Amino acid sequence: QVTLKESGPALVKPTQTLTVTCTFSGFSLSTSGVRVSWIRQPPGKALEWLARIDWDDDKFYSTSLKTRLTISKDTSKNQVVLTMTNMDPVDTATYYCARVSRDGYNFGYWGQGTLVTVSS
Amino acid sequence: QTVVTQEPSFSVSPGGTVTLTCDLSSGSISTGYYPSWYQQTPGQAPRTLIYSTSIRSSGVPDRFSGSILGNKAALTITGAQADDESDYYCMLYMGGGTYVFGTGTKVTVL
């Protein structure tokens, strides 16, 4: 059974760095073809894809946020971590992680999301 | 910058049919973008409905179908039910390990 769960701070101050963690079970990021992505959704707004990390440590980022994002994995802990620097109130959103499909083209399993508010 | 546009909202009667579309600012959508569709109810995580244009995800009722209509990706709900009232998002695979979501469509069943 595949599950993913996001965790992180509920509140972050402007200019700080956000670190959110995706802890998953039911699969391993050391297995060929496995990939995990991060997606976010500001309150009342659309989903936005942020980043992806693959089993072979390939990493891909949203063009518009590339300079602020870093994605990494800890295979031994079954975790994927996303950091976002220089947080701003417009970054207030629910942050989701999702397992990418085997073919790499869609997201088959989603976590429940974690709401991060950016405010002083 | 790539923009994927969906209708902001649709209203459909119970038992009725509605087709949502997904439009790419830079050109036509083909199967090579592997369009997928996600359903989201308030406060919940998205749920995968359709992937690779027209393949229903496990457990998705067959009243949901995906296709390419003209130069757009489309999601059709045939025989809408009350619990289909949700937000629907399309997503395209843009290549190079990157993705873009559409602007979303709010579907009301009444």
The distance of Cα A87 from the centroid of its chain, to the nearest Å, equals 15
Angle A103-A39-B31 (CA atoms, 0-180°, nearest 5)? 40
The pLDDT of residue A9: 98
Buried b (16+ CB within 10 A) or exposed e, B16-48: eebbbbbbbeeeebeeebbbbbbbbeeeebbeb
Q: Looking at the complex, report in whole angstroms how far the Cα of residue B69 sits from the nearest Cα belonging to chain A.
A: 20
Residues B52, A104: C-beta atoms closer than 8 Å? no
Q: Which of B47, B43, B42 is nearest to B75 (CA)?
A: B47
| Residues present in chain A in total | 120
Q: Token digits for A10?
A: 């509920």
Per-residue pLDDT of chain A (120 residues; tens, 9 = 90+): 999 999 999 999 999 999 999 999 999 999 999 999 999 999 999 999 999 999 999 999 999 999 999 999 999 999 999 999 999 999 999 999 999 998 989 999 999 999 999 999
The pLDDT of residue B1: 83
The pLDDT of residue B22: 97
Question: Among all chains, which residue has been given the structure tokens 């190079």?
Answer: B96
Q: What is the DSSP letter of B27?
A: B
Residues A46, B97: C-beta atoms closer than 8 Å? no
Positions in chain B short of pLDDT 70: none
Residues A62, B98: C-beta atoms closer than 8 Å? yes
R_g over Cα of chain B = 13
Strands B9-12 and B105-109: parallel
Q: Which of B106, B87, B74, B95 is nearest to B2 (CA)?
A: B95
